[in-house]
Amino acid sequence: MSTSLRVTRYPYVCLLALSGTNLRLVSMCEGLASPSQLLQVLTSAHEQHSGVLVAEQVAAQELVSVSFFNGRLGGGVGLCVCVC
């Protein structure tokens, strides 16, 4: 995963958004960071992207409802913190 995220310095922490089978980088922090800096980066990223994530969650929920009646299950939506 560190190769696909193009990690160049450690420690590396990122916030990933999962929508169905798509995974995208929302924010990241490379190198040493204080807990308050890390919290600020992650909080800011969550605030900036929460509207889009809520819309994707609603769309995914509708897809799951439709897929359930068609005998298929849809993908989920969420956030993931990755630490390398």
What pLDDT, on the 0 to 100 scale, is given for residue 6?
86
3-class DSSP state for residue 65?
A: helix
> What's the whole-number mean pLDDT along residues 53-65?
69
* Whole-number Å distance between alpha carbons of 80 and 65: 24
Task: Name residue 23's amino acid.
Answer: L
What pLDDT, on the 0 to 100 scale, is given for residue 73?
45
Report how far Cα 8 is from the mean position of its chain's Cα atoms. 20
pLDDT tens for 3-51 read 888 888 899 888 887 776 778 888 888 999 899 998 898 889 888 877 7
